[in-house]
């Protein structure tokens, strides 16, 4: 297969993914709305172009790693969108966490051009993206996945084929629903511990070693206690994932009440200025004794 790959979106995740594609020897063209973010990658051998359509023109595989449905729609379907230049054999890989409804629409637009789409969102965060240790959750047909396999392998430790198009997006929302609820409840639990007079270190050690412990609990509680909110996964993206999860679960007649409660906390924290900080900063909303009640009345 051609080694020409295009990557659209150089945020926290896209940048690490691009680095690993270059390391694996692919000829990489990148696009990002904010061009400055491509500087280091250009130094490493990537070709930067100023529109998604130009990025997709000669690529055998086009991957996008963007914030949400709206960003994905702009980049694939805008007047200079990647779909304007994709060819019959081009493989499109949507790795952003987006809604299954948008994946279905994108798949139908792609098929009108004769192109094939995989939805392949990822688990893992900034560090795993940089180390090429992501897990891809893939929806799509076998032949298309086979075509994209060498490229996905360069960025990941595992590639899990879940079923037809949309399966990856569904699985990813279930995954992040469970993560979002846990982060929100951890923020409440830790605030409670801090105000209870218990020794915070001892209390967290008990919880980590006990039934509530999880990799997420360990990573996020450390960030909350250190008040380190440099972004691994931004708060606004978690709010988005919970919102999409609620809509998607409702399609299956499941009402995600805990997602709604967690999303409310993330929305309130976003309104207080934490949208672009790490999701762990949601605890600052609760550490502040006064404003949550005022904001809650407006938002939840
Ligand atoms: P990020 O750092 O916020 O980057 C978002 C990217 O989307 C940037 O390239 C941004 O461009 C672009 N973008 C946003 N709105 C746009 C628009 N309207 N038009 C064009 N481009 C637009 O996000 P990330 O953390 O890399 O996450 C990317 C995706 O992966 C998200 O769907 C997220 O939910 C998912 N994800 C994230 C993590 C994580 O730990 N961070 C883990 C798994 C999955 P600019 O640079 O110009 O703003």
Q: What is the pTM of this model?
A: 0.96
CATH of domain 170-298: 1.10.1040.10
Mean pLDDT of 146-169: 98
Q: Do the domains spanning 4-165 and 170-298 agree at the CATH topology level?
A: no
Please state, in angstroms and as integers, the Cα–Cα distance from residue 2 to each residue in 35, 62, 284, following that order: 26, 12, 49
Confidence check: pLDDT of 1 > 60: no
Average pLDDT, the chain: 96
Mean pLDDT of 199-217: 98
Give the pLDDT of residue 67.
Answer: 98
Distance 65 CA to ligand 1 centre (A): 6
Q: Find the length of the chain.
A: 300
What residues are paired with 278 via a beta bridge? 234
Read off the pLDDT band of 298 (50, 70, 90): confident
Report how far residue 263's alpha carbon sits from residue 180's, in angstroms, rounded to the nearest whole number.
Answer: 8
Domains of the chain, by residue range, sit at 4-165, 170-298
Mean pLDDT of 166-182: 98
* Sequence-ordered strand ranges (E) for the chain: 4-8, 27-31, 47-48, 61-64, 91-94, 116-119, 122-123, 134-139, 156-163
Crossing angle of helices 215-226/200-209, nearest 10°? 170
Over its C-alpha atoms, the chain yields an Rg (Å, rounded) of 20
Residues with CB under 6 A from ligand 1: 9-14, 32-34, 37, 65-68, 70-71, 74-75, 96-97, 122, 125-126, 232-234, 237, 241
3-class DSSP state for residue 123? Answer: strand
Residue closest by Cα to atom 18 of ligand 1:
71
Q: Indicate the top mutation candidate among 13, 131, 134 to test ligand 1's pocket, ranked by most ligand atoms within 8 A of CB.
A: 13
Distance 110 CA to ligand 1 centre (A): 22
Q: Are 119 and 138 in contact (CB under 8 A)?
A: yes
With CA atoms as reference, report the closest residue to 265 among 283, 290, 249, 277.
Answer: 283
Could you say which of 3.40.50.2300, 1.10.1030.10, 1.10.540.10, 3.40.50.720 is the CATH number of the domain covering 4-165?
3.40.50.720
Please state, in angstroms and as integers, the Cα–Cα distance from residue 262 to each residue in 5, 9, 50, 238, following that order: 38, 28, 38, 10
Read off the pLDDT band of 266 (50, 70, 90): very high
The three state secondary structure string of 216-232 is HHHHHHHHHHHCCCCCC
With CA atoms as reference, report the closest residue to 125 among 237, 261, 273, 242.
Answer: 237
Confidence check: pLDDT of 47 > 60: yes
Confidence check: pLDDT of 88 > 70: yes
Burial class (CB in 10 A: 0-12, 13-18, 19+), 226: exposed
């Amino acid at each position: 297969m051609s080694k020409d790959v295009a990557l659209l979106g150089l945020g926290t995740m896209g940048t690490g993914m691009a680095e690993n594609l270059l390391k694996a020897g692919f000829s990489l063209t990148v696009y990002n709305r904010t061009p400055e973010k491509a500087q280091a990658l250009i130094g490493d051998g990537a070709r930067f172009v100023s529109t998604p359509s130009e990025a997709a023109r000669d690529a055998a595989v086009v991957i996008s790693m963007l914030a949400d449905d709206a960003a994905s729609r702009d980049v694939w379907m805008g007047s200079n969108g990647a779909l304007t230049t994709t060819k019959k054999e081009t493989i499109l890989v949507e790795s952003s966490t987006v809604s299954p409804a948008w994946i279905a629409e994108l798949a139908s637009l792609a098929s009108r051009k004769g192109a094939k789409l995989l939805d392949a969102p990822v688990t893992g965060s900034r560090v795993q993206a940089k180390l090429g240790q992501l897990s891809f959750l893939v929806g799509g047909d076998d032949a298309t996945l086979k075509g994209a396999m060498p490229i996905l392998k360069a960025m990941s430790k595992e590639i899990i084929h879940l079923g037809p198009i949309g399966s990856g997006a569904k699985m990813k929302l279930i995954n992040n629903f469970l993560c979002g609820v846990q982060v929100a409840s951890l923020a409440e639990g830790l605030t409670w511990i801090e105000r209870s007079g218990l020794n915070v270190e001892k209390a967290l050690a008990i919880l980590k070693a006990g039934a509530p412990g999880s990799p997420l609990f360990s990573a996020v509680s450390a960030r909350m206690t250190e008040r380190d909110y440099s972004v691994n996964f931004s708060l606004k993206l978690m709010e988005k994932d919970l919102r999409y999860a609620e809509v998607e679960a409702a399609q299956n007649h499941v009402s995600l009440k805990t997602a709604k409660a967690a999303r409310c906390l993330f929305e309130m924290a976003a309104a207080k200025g934490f949208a672009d900080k790490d999701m762990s900063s949601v605890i600052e909303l609760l550490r502040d004794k006064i404003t949550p009640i005022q904001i809650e009345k407006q938002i939840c």
